Structure 1
Amino acid sequence: KQPQEFDSKVSWEANFVQFELLADQNGWDDGQRAVQFATSLKDAALEVLSQLSMEDRICYSSLVEVLERKCSILYLSEVYRVLFQTHVRDTGESLQQLAQELLALLLKEQFIDALGSAELKVQVKQAV
């Protein structure tokens, strides 16, 4: 069975766990895992792959390490965006409190998106 496409709208952890289960079931070695994983990437994760050296692209542990660092922060921005869009006023929450909560979520999401540099995003994520 082939791996599903890596979906950047789903957390890095969920995608990776699913891939590892499939790789174990199929008995793939690290070389096969690297190729299967790399070819399952799309969207922002595929862009990350294109920035890696040839050695990192074919070394499964390096590929996983780099993608984990870079994709986790991309997902964090999406989390804040979804939290903002789905936030509902709590019982007893004042309008001012609601506005402050929404503003905080919006600012976090926008701040992460505006950083640009993936490395800087990783450093900020570790500090948050």
Structure 2
Amino acid sequence: MAQALEQRYGMRYQDEVFRSRFQTHNRRRDESPQELAYNPEGMVYKAYPEVNNGLITVLLHDKFIDALDSSQLKIQVK
């Protein structure tokens, strides 16, 4: 029981939780492009606390493009 609670609420696995949330984040219907760019930012720093800022920027850039709902818009942004 204690192990299950630790896995769910403990700090030990939090980076995995944030990494999963970051990777699966998609644009909501009511989410503006500004919000789409901003919302994953907090998650990525928690998901990859040991990564340098250059790689964080690349991860955020790629996630932003992947989360766009229009193929045409993805091409234009790239």
TM-score of the superposed pair, with normalisation by structure 2:
0.49
Q: Determine which structure has greater relative contact order: mean sequence separation of CA pairs < 8 Å that are 6+ residues apart, divided by chain length.
A: 2
Structure index of larger Rg: 1
TM-score of the superposed pair, with normalisation by structure 1:
0.32
